C-alpha cells in the first residue's frame, strides 16, 4: 500500500515534539562537578565533607570542597546563586524559609554539642563568674561563635566584659592546655580531636549547662545531651560527674535547583557516614527527616520513606541515570508514536476515500440540477460534468483504492448518457424518480 508522505511526516513531527517536551521536562543531565562549602580545616564539617567527597567520587561525581569559617559562612554562600555552592552543613537556628527561599534540607545528620572548657585554676560557680577572663569563642561565621554569643547574651554578659579570642578549635585547645587562656567554647562533635583532648585532660574542666532544659524550652532547635561520667577516661574518671550540654543539629542543606540525582547520591552518602552509633545517638538515628529550619526536599522525603530510587539500588549511578532517562523517553513513544502508527493507516484510508466521495458529491449535485431541469442539460452543466470527469481521470489513487475510482468513472458515464439522451430529439425521458446514480447503486446491489 502506498503511503501519504504528509501523514507520516505529521506523525514523525508529533513524536519528535513529544520527545523534545519530555527531554525538556526531564531537565539537564546531572552535573559531574558539585561545589560544597565546608568549614575550617580539620573541623567536623571539613572531615565529614571529605568522606562525602570520597563516596561521590566512586559514582563519577567530583565534590569540590570550599573551606569556610563555618555554618554562617556556608549559609551565605548557599543563598548566593553566584557563589556556585550547592550543598553545605548548616546548624539549626540560623535561617528560615522566608530568609532562604531557594534552599531546602536533606535532613539532620549529626549533633553538634556546645562545649565550654575551663582551665583548672578557674573556679566558676555561675556563668557571670566568667567576666574579665580570656575566652576563645571561635572565628567570625563559625557555629561556635554564634552559639557562644547567644549564651553570653542569655546570661546577661556583654562581650566587652570579656577578652574574646577568635581561635579555631585546635588553637583554643592548645592555648587552654598551656594555660594561655582561661576558657574555650566549642561547637563540635564528640569525635573532634580537640574535644577529646580537653575532656580527658586533668588540666581542664568541662562546665555544663545546669539549666539545659530552660535553653531547650526557649529555643526548640536546641537539644539536651548528657556526657556520662568517666566517658573521656575511666581510669582518671574524666569527667568526674555527668555533665549536661545543649546541642544544635547540623543539617545537610542544598539549593532547590540541585539535580535530584545528586540529592539522592548525597543522601546515600549521608546514610553511610552518619548512621553509625555515637556517644549521643543510636545507630540509624541519623540522617533523619527533621525540618529544623528549612523544609525537607521531596527527594529526601521519598528517600526516607522507601530508600534510594529503584534503579540506583541495582545499577551503578551512571547507568541508573541513563536508564531512567531512556525509560522516561519511552513515554512519548508508547503514548504518542504507537497510537499514531496504529491509526495512521485508517486515517490514510479515510483520506483516500474522502477524495473520491468529494467528487461523488459534486456529481450528485449535477444530477440533481439535471432533474430540476426535467432532464434537459444546458452548456453550463455539460462543462461542469467535463471538468469533473477530467479531475477523476487525473486523480491519483493508490492501487488498493482503484475500485472506488473505477466506480466513480462508471457513474460519471451514466450521468453523461443522460446528458446525451437529453440532447437527442427522439430521447425518451427516464424515470423521474430513479436518477442514474440510484439505478447504478441498485444494479450493484
Spans of all domains in the chain: 31-308, 329-444
Which has more pLDDT, 364 or 74?
74
Please tell me the distance from the alpha carbon of residue 228 to that of residue 359, in angstroms, as a whole number. Answer: 98
What local confidence, expressed as pLDDT, does residue 144 receive? Answer: 92
More confident position, 319 or 254: 254
**CA separation, residue 131 to residues 117, 161, 215, 324 (Å):** 15, 6, 21, 62
Q: How far, in Å, CA of 142 to CA of 351, rounded?
A: 74
pLDDT at 431: 43
Q: Please tell me the predicted confidence (pLDDT) of residue 310.
A: 64
pLDDT at 315: 66
| Percent of the chain's residues with pLDDT above 90 | 50
Q: Which residues of 372-406 are buried (b: 16+ CB within 10 A; e: fewer)?
A: eeebebeeebeebbeebbeebeeeebeeebeeebe
Longest dimension (CA), the chain: 143
Instruction: Read off the pLDDT of each residue in 223-236 and give the average, rounded to a whole number.
Output: 95
Q: What is the mean pLDDT of the chain?
A: 84
For the ranges 199-208, 228-237, 324-333, 412-421, the lowest mean pLDDT is seen at 324-333
Give the pLDDT of residue 181.
Answer: 95
* Predicted local distance difference test score (pLDDT) of residue 72: 94
Distance CA 80, CA 83 (A): 6
Judged by DSSP in three states, 340 sits in helix
| For residue 96, pLDDT beyond 80 | yes
Peptide bond into 122 cis (omega under 30): no
At residue 427, the pLDDT reads 45
- The mean per-residue pLDDT over the stretch 361-365 comes to 84
Top-confidence residue, 388 or 436: 388
pLDDT of residue 132: 87
Q: What is the pLDDT of residue 55?
A: 95
Write down the pLDDT at residue 428.
Answer: 47
Q: What is the pLDDT of residue 25?
A: 58
d(CA 213, CA 219): 10
Alpha carbons 223 and 212: distance in angstroms, whole number: 8
Examine the pLDDT at 376 and tell me if it is beyond 50: yes
pLDDT tens column, 291-320: 999 999 998 999 998 887 766 776 676 656
Q: What is the pLDDT of residue 372?
A: 80
CATH level 3 topology of 31-308: D-Maltodextrin-Binding Protein; domain 2 (3.40.190)
Question: Helical H runs in 80-159?
Answer: 143-154
pLDDT digits (tens, 9 = 90+) for 337-355: 667 667 767 777 777 788 8
Least confidently predicted of 61-70, 207-216, 320-329: 320-329
**What is the average pLDDT across 26-42?**
85
Highest mean pLDDT among 81-90, 260-269, 297-306: 81-90
Task: Give the model's pLDDT for residue 331.
Answer: 64
pLDDT of residue 210: 86
How many C-beta atoms surround the C-beta of residue 61 within 10 A?
22
Residue 10 has pLDDT above 80, yes or no: no
Q: Looking at residues 321-347, what average pLDDT do you find?
A: 66
Structure confidence at residue 59 (pLDDT): 87
pLDDT at 83: 96
Tell me: pLDDT of 441 over 50: no
For 390-410, the pLDDT digits (tens) are 888 888 777 777 787 788 888
Give the pLDDT score at 403: 85
- Asked if pLDDT for residue 366 goes beyond 90, the answer is no
Q: Percent of the chain scored above 70 by pLDDT?
A: 81
Is the pLDDT at 2 greater than 60, yes or no?
A: no
**Around Cβ 267, how many Cβ atoms within 10 Å?**
23
Amino acid at each position: 500500500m502506498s503511503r501519504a508522505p504528509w501523514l507520516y511526516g505529521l506523525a514523525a513531527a508529533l513524536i519528535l515534539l513529544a520527545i523534545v517536551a519530555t527531554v525538556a521536562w526531564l531537565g539537564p543531565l546531572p552535573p559531574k562537578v558539585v561545589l560544597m562549602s565546608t568549614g575550617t580545616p580539620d573541623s567536623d564539617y571539613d572531615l565529614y565533607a571529605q568522606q562525602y567527597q570520597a563516596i561521590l567520587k566512586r559514582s563519577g561525581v567530583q565534590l569540590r570542597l570550599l573551606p569556610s569559617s563555618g555554618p554562617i559562612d556556608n549559609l551565605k554562600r548557599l543563598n548566593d546563586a553566584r557563589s556556585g555552592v550547592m550543598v553545605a552543613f548548616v546548624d539549626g537556628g540560623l535561617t528560615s524559609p522566608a530568609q532562604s527561599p531557594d534552599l531546602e534540607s536533606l535532613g539532620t545528620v549529626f549533633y553538634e554539642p556546645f562545649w565550654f572548657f575551663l582551665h583548672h585554676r578557674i573556679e566558676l560557680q555561675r556563668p557571670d563568674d566568667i567576666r574579665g577572663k580570656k575566652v576563645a569563642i571561635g572565628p567570625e561565621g563559625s557555629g561556635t561563635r554564634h552559639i557562644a554569643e547567644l549564651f553570653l547574651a542569655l546570661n546577661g554578659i556583654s562581650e566587652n566584659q570579656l577578652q574574646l579570642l577568635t581561635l579555631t578549635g585546635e588553637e583554643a585547645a592548645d592555648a587552654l592546655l598551656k594555660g594561655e587562656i582561661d576558657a574555650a567554647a566549642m561547637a563540635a562533635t564528640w569525635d573532634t580531636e580537640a574535644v577529646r583532648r580537653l575532656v580527658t585532660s586533668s588540666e581542664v574542666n568541662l562546665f555544663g549547662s545546669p539549666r539545659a532544659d530552660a535553653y531547650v524550652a526557649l529555643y526548640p532547635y536546641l537539644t539536651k545531651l548528657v556526657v556520662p561520667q568517666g566517658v573521656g577516661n575511666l581510669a582518671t574518671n574524666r569527667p568526674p560527674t555527668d555533665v549536661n550540654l545543649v546541642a544544635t543539629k547540623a543539617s545537610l542543606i542544598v539549593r532547590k535547583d540541585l539535580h535530584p540525582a545528586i540529592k539522592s547520591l548525597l543522601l546515600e552518602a549521608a546514610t553511610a557516614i552518619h548512621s553509625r552509633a555515637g556517644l549521643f545517638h543510636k545507630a540509624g538515628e541519623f540522617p533523619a527527616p527533621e525540618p529544623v529550619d528549612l523544609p525537607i526536599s521531596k527527594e529526601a522525603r521519598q528517600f526516607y520513606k522507601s530508600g534510594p530510587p529503584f534503579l540506583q539500588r541495582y545499577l551503578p549511578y551512571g547507568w541508573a541515570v541513563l536508564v531512567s532517562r531512556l525509560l522516561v523517553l519511552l513515554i512519548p513513544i508508547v503514548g504518542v508514536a504507537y497510537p499514531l502508527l496504529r491509526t495512521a493507516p485508517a486515517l490514510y484510508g479515510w483520506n483516500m476515500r474522502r477524495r473520491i466521495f468529494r467528487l461523488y458529491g459534486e456529481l450528485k449535485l449535477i444530477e440533481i440540477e439535471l432533474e430540476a431541469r426535467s432532464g434537459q442539460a444546458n452548456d453550463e452543466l455539460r462543462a461542469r460534468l467535463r471538468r469533473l470527469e477530467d479531475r477523476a481521470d487525473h486523480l491519483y489513487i493508490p492501487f488498493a483504492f482503484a475500485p472506488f475510482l473505477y466506480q466513480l468513472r462508471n457513474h460519471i458515464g451514466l450521468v453523461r448518457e443522460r446528458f446525451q439522451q437529453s440532447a437527442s430529439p427522439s430521447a425518451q425521458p427516464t424515470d423521474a424518480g430513479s436518477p442514474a446514480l440510484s439505478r447504478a447503486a441498485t444494479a450493484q446491489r
